[in-house]
Amino acid sequence: MSSARICELVIGGSRANWAQVGINFSHDGVFAIGEIALRINETLPPGMHSWVLSNIDSTIVSIDGIPTTGITGNGQSEQHDAHGFMLTPIGIDHVVVNTPDLERTSHALQQATGAELKRIRDAGNSVRQGFHRLGDVIIEIVSAPSMPPGDAALWGFVLNVADVHEVAAYLGPDVLSPPKPAVQKNRLIATFRGAVGLGVPVALMSDI
């Protein structure tokens, strides 16, 4: 089993937009999700830009084009500041990586982290999903004919929460889509609306 873990996910955009959904970053730009730090750099455009992984070769700077920093041991997450409504995720369920070549990206991830490909799922319309696991987090690699040739890229992530209905009731349908059954059995999923302006596709999941 791989000992590699995600320590940080680095995003760009405006922290004010994230505050609308209860993700309030610390003064240093960190929102702690369990042992993982979501770090915002407002000098970068909206989107997911890079990640920090522990227990991989520190000379690795890229995994199939995804900017990567390798560290030994586990990083420390800061506590986020609390103002008004605060989202309290239990952890990250999965991180989505887009790629024009699932096998190439899967191989590169396994070479860098030691995490084996668990399975490949046909999602329909020639969309394929490959799954790896880094600790408690699933890495979902997605490929589709519509994706342009080139590097793999971090795309979005899904957070686990205690009760997605409770969050949806507080934020309202203009911010978070109504919860619906997820692909995973006995689980619900809801997605933040694009109009919120996160710049990153983010969804919430909980048990039914």
How much is the pLDDT for 73?
A: 65
Class of residue 89 by CB neighbours under 10 A (exposed 0-12, middle 13-18, buried 19+): buried
Neighbours of 74 (CB within 10 A): 13
Angle at 153 between CA 56 and CA 100, to 5 degrees: 115
Rounded distance, CA 112 to CA 49, Å? 18
How much is the pLDDT for 31?
A: 96
Q: What CATH homologous superfamily does 5-207 map to? A: 2,3-Dihydroxybiphenyl 1,2-Dioxygenase, domain 1 (3.10.180.10)
How much is the pLDDT for 76?
A: 52
Q: What is the pLDDT along the chain (208 residues), one digit of tens a residue?
A: 789 999 999 999 999 999 999 999 999 999 999 999 999 999 999 999 999 999 999 999 999 999 999 987 665 555 555 567 889 999 999 999 999 999 999 999 999 999 999 999 999 999 999 999 999 999 999 999 999 999 999 999 999 999 999 999 999 999 999 999 999 999 999 999 999 999 999 999 999 9
- pTM reported for the whole predicted model: 0.94
How much is the pLDDT for 85?
A: 82
Distance from the Cα of residue 40 to its chain's centroid: 13
How much is the pLDDT for 72?
A: 75
The residue with tokens 């995994």 is: 63
Greatest alpha-carbon pair distance for the chain in Å reads 46
